[in-house]
Structure 1
Amino acid sequence: MHMSRGSRTALLASCAALLLATSACGDDQPEEAATQQVHLYGTDGNMSNSYPEELGDRAGLVNGMKGTTPLTPLPEDFKKRLLSVDPQLDGFLYAAEAYDAVVISALAAEVAGTTDPAAIAKQIVGITNGGTRCGTPAECLPLARDGEDIEYRSVSITRAGFTDAGEPATASYATLHFDGDRLNDAKMEFVGAGDESAASAKSPPKVDRSSNGGDAPLVLGGLLPKTGDLALAYPPMAAGAALAIKELNDAGGVLGKDVVWIDGDDGTNPTVAKATVARHLAEGVHVIIGAGGSGITAAVLDDVVKKGRILFSPSNTAASLTSAEDRGLYFRTAPPDSLQGRALADVILRDGPHKIAIVARKDSYGEGLQDVVRSELERAGFGGDKVRLLSYEPGEGAEAPPIDFSDGARQIKEFGADAVLIIGFSESAAVVRALADADVPLAALARR
C-alpha cells in the first residue's frame, strides 16, 4: 500500500496521541500486537460448508479462510432441479461437472449409434466443439438422432469445448470465503482462465446411423466418493449425475432405451476403487463416471482402459492426467490445475503476504497443484526464501493412523509465514488443528 509523507506524519501523530498498539506506531507497541496474523487458504477439496464439521467444536478456525474451486455461476433453475433430486443438498461443488459428464457420455453414444465404448470415446470431444449449439438432453438428443453435429454448452461447459486431450479448454473459478463456519455466497467472485483457441478443431469420425437401436442400453457406473476423505463432495456430484440420468430418460433415453446407472463408491481409496471398477466391468458398464480424486483415478485408470472402457471424471484436476496413458478413453469436465493454480495464486497475492507456506497431501492432486501454485508465485516475485513447501501422508482407509502435522506446524511458525495454503480433502482439517495447537497466530483466533 502506498502512503504519502503527509498521511504518514498524521498517522504517527495519531498513534502517539492515542497510544494505539499497532504495527504502524513504531517500536513502542506490545510484542503480542506486533505478531503477524496468519491467513488460511484452501482449494476445491476443502472449501465447502461440510469442511468445518471435520473440526468439531473448533469449526471457527476456518473463519476468514479463502480459496478457489472450479465453478461457473450456476443458473437458479439448475440449482432448483438439483434440489428436486436431493432436497438436503448443502452446496453445489462439482454438481455441474457431474451432470455434464453424464450428459456428454450419453450424447456421444447417441451420435455414435452404439454403446461400444471405443466408438463413444471417438465422439466425446466432438460433442463439445462445432455444430448446432444446445444445452440440455431435451434440446440435444433430437438433434443427435437426426444426425446433426452438435456443440454442447451447458452448466460447466460454457465458453469453449474440450481440447484434444479430452478436458475443458477454459474454466471458471469461484473465490470462496468463510464467514464463521459457513461460506458467504455474497462474497463469491468469479474469474475465468484458459484459452478458447485450445479447444479441439478436429472433426470426429462420421457414423453410419442406419442400424441404430440394436445395442443393449447404455450403462453408466458411478465411481464417486461416497466414503473417505473426499466424501464431503459426494452429495452434489451424486445429485448432478442423478439429475442427468433423469433428464436423459425423460427425453427418450439413448438409442431408444433408458440409460442405466449402477452406483459405486471410490472410497477415496485405491483399494476400494479398484474393487468397484472390477464389479462395474463384470456388470457390463460402458462408461465409469469418476473417480472423485485424481490420485484414485491414477490408481484405476489402467484397469479401466485395459478393458476398453471409458473413465470420465467430474472432479479430477491433477495436471499430470492431461498426458496420462489412457488410449483415448479418459475424459474430465473439471479443468486441470494448470488453470486453477493461477486463480488460486491470485487470491493469495491480493492479500499482500510476505511469506507463504503451501501444505499438500502427498498424491498427484496435492503435490501437482502445490507445484503449479509455487510456479505462479515465483512468477510474481516470490523466490525460494519466501515460499515453504510441506506435505503430509493422507493415509488410506478407516484404520489409517491420525495425521500428525505437529512438526510441519512448528516449521511454519519458525518460518514466519503469514499465509498458509492447505491443499487436501477433509483430512486436511488435521493441519488446521495442528497450526492452532502450535500457537500459530491464525487470523480466525485474532477475530474472537
Structure 2
Amino acid sequence: MFKSRGSRTATLTVCATFLLATSACGTDTPEETPTQQARLYGTDGNMLNSFPAELKDRADLVDGMKGTTPLTPLPEDFKSRLRSVEPKLTDYLYSAETYDAVVISALAAQLAGSTDPAAIARQIVGVTNGGQRCEDVAGCLTLARAGQDIQYRSVSLTRAGFTDAGEPATASYATLHFDGQQINDGKTEFVGAGEESAASTKNPPKGSKQPTGDADREDGSPLVIGGLLPKTGELAIAYPPMAAGAELAIKEINAAGGVLGDPVTWAEGDDGTSPTVAKATVAKHIADGVPVIIGAGGSGISLAVLPDVVQAGRILFSPSNTDDGLTTADDKGLYFRTAPPDSLQGRALADVILRDGSQRVAIIARKDSYGEGLQAVVRKELERAGISADRLKLLTYQPPEGEDAPPVDFGAGAKEVKDFGADAVLLIGFGESAQVIRALADAGVQIRH
C-alpha cells in the first residue's frame, strides 16, 4: 500500500527510535551491528571482596564478573574463630589452607620429637594419611604426644590427605559471582576435584612419645614457624585472611599445650609479592634458625626462594601456591602445600566459561609461573572441549615488582582483545589485574554486567 510523504516520514521516525539496529522498516539506512559484549572471569588472585577497591572510581566494572578459587565450604564456627582474631575480616580465601599448613607443621614436629627440619619434613605427608583420624588441634596433639600415628582432617583437608609430592590429592573449588561490587555468597557453587586414590600410602617414621617430667631440651624446642606471606605487593589483597588463619592456628596450638612442651612462636615475614623482598625475608628466617617457613603467597615467589630454602635445609610450606611446576620442583623433600595444583583448577574454570556458551575467549595472564601455567591449563581444557585455537587469544603482561613500580600498561593488549571480538575475557592475576580491566574498558571493550 502506498503512503503519503508525511506518513512515510512518521514511520521512519518511529523506526529510528525503536528499531535502530534492524531493517524491519525497510529504510535505506545501513544496519548497525550490535557491539560484542564480553563477560569477565577471574581466578583466586582477584575473586576477592577487596578486589573492586583496586579499581577505585570504576569499581562497578566488576559487576557480573565470575570465577573460580580453591575453596571448601567453611563452617560458620571456623569463620567465627577467624573473626575472633581479625574482626574486620571480609574474605576467607586461603585462610583454611594457611591454618592447616601451620597445624600440620606443628603436629609433624610433635611426632618427630624435634624441631629439626629434616625430621619434621619426614612426618608431614604421614600426618595427613593413615593412622587415627582426628579433626581438632587439641585432640590431634594429644595423640601425637603419645607417638600415635594420626590422620589429620580439618577445614581445607577433608576428603583425602597429601600425595607423595606433599600436596592435596583432592580439592574443592568454588564458583564466585560479583554482584554490586561484592561477592554474592548466595550464588556460590562448590565442585570437587582430584582422586582420593592419589593420596600417599607410605608409612612415616614411628612417632616419638613426648617425655614426661622435665622437657628434653635437646629437641630444639620451642618450635618457631616463620611467615612468608604477601603483607605488601600485588597479592596483599589476599593477606588478611591468610594472616588470620596463621594467627588462629598458633593461638589454638598454644591453647592446647603447644609443641614439645613449649608454646609455638610465630615469626612474621613479608614476601612483598617480590622475589627481592621474599629472599631477604627468607635469609633472615634462616639466620634466626627458623625450621619451617609458611609461604610464599605466589607460586613464582616460592620458585624464586626455594633454592635458598633447600640449600639451608629448611621447610617451605605454602598455603596458596597452585603452579603445576612445583609438583616436580627439585625440593629435596622440603616443599609442601595445602593449595591444590592448577591442573585441577583449570578444569573447573574452563567448565564455568563453557557453561556460559562463550565462543571467543581471551585469556590474559600475568607473565610468571602462576599466570602462564594456569593459562596453559585452561587453554588445553577449552580446546579439549571443542573451542578451536583460532577462537582463543592468549595474552600476557609483565607484573609490577615493588610498591613503587609503575602500573601495568595493557593498552596495546586491550586493543587486540577488542579487535578479536572476545565474548569472554579471563583475567589470571592479582590486584594489578584491575589495571587490565581499566584498559579493556578504555579500549572500548563492552564489559557485560
| TM-score range normalised by the length of the shorter chain | over 0.9
144-153 vs 293-302, which moves further: 144-153
CA distance in 1, matches of 2:270, 2:322: 19
Deviations 1:240-263 (A, max 9, x none): 000000000000000111001000
Distance 1:250 1:208, change over 3 A: closer
What is aligned with 2:413?
408
Identity of matched residues, %: 71
The two structures have a TM-score, normalised by structure 1, of 0.92
What is aligned with 2:271?
266
1:325 to 2:369 alignment = no
208-217 vs 268-277, which moves further: 208-217
Deviations 1:131-167 (A, max 9, x none): 1111121110001111211100100000000000000
Alpha-carbon deviation of 1:25? 8.7
Alpha-carbon deviation of 1:34? 2.1
Distance 1:139 1:430, change over 3 A: same
CA distance in 1, matches of 2:159, 2:20: 50
Matches within 5 A, 1:390-429: 390-429=395-434
CA distance in 2, matches of 1:49, 1:260: 31
CA distance in 1, matches of 2:25, 2:168: 51
Bigger Rg, structure 1 or 2: 2
27-36 vs 69-78, which moves further: 27-36
What is aligned with 1:232?
237
CA distance in 1, matches of 2:70, 2:257: 31
Deviations 1:51-94 (A, max 9, x none): 11010000000000000110000000000000000001011010
SS in 2 for 1:346: helix
Contact 1:213 1:256 in 2 (8 A): no
User: Which of residues 369, 378, 384 is equivalent to 2:383?
Assistant: 378
Alpha-carbon deviation of 1:24? 13
156-165 vs 201-210, which moves further: 201-210
What is aligned with 2:8?
none
1:105 to 2:110 alignment = no
CA distance in 2, matches of 1:197, 1:239: 32
SS in 1 for 2:388: coil
What is aligned with 1:45?
45
Matches within 5 A, 1:230-379: 230-379=235-384
Contact 1:114 1:213 in 2 (8 A): no
Distance 1:31 1:93, change over 3 A: farther
Distance 1:385 1:329, change over 3 A: same
Which amino acid in 2 is paired with 1:106? A
Distance 1:281 1:39, change over 3 A: same
Alpha-carbon deviation of 1:402? 2.0
Alpha-carbon deviation of 1:209? 3.7
Contact 2:146 2:209 in 1 (8 A): no
SS in 2 for 1:302: helix
1:191 to 2:196 alignment = no
What is aligned with 1:166?
166
Contact 1:23 1:33 in 2 (8 A): no
Q: Deviating runs (4+, > 3 A) in structure 1?
A: 18-33, 207-213
Distance 1:61 1:26, change over 3 A: farther
Extract unaligned runs of 5+ from structure 2.
1-14
Contact 1:21 1:33 in 2 (8 A): no
What is aligned with 1:4?
none
CA distance in 1, matches of 2:238, 2:80: 18
SS in 2 for 1:34: coil
- Aligned CA-pair RMSD: 2.0
What is aligned with 2:69?
69
Distance 1:119 1:142, change over 3 A: same
Contact 1:113 1:213 in 2 (8 A): no
SS in 2 for 1:278: helix
CA distance in 2, matches of 1:64, 1:327: 44
SS in 2 for 1:385: helix
SS in 2 for 1:267: coil
The two structures have a TM-score, normalised by structure 2, of 0.92
CA distance in 2, matches of 1:78, 1:241: 13
Alpha-carbon deviation of 1:223? 0.2
CA distance in 1, matches of 2:115, 2:282: 18
19-28 vs 113-122, which moves further: 19-28
What is aligned with 2:54?
54
What is aligned with 1:176?
176
What is aligned with 1:155?
155
Which amino acid in 2 is paired with 1:82? L
Alpha-carbon deviation of 1:400? 1.8
Extract unaligned runs of 5+ from structure 1.
1-15
CA distance in 1, matches of 2:21, 2:105: 58
CA distance in 2, matches of 1:355, 1:393: 24
Alpha-carbon deviation of 1:35? 2.0
Which amino acid in 2 is paired with 1:355? R
1:81 to 2:81 alignment = yes
Aligned residues: 428
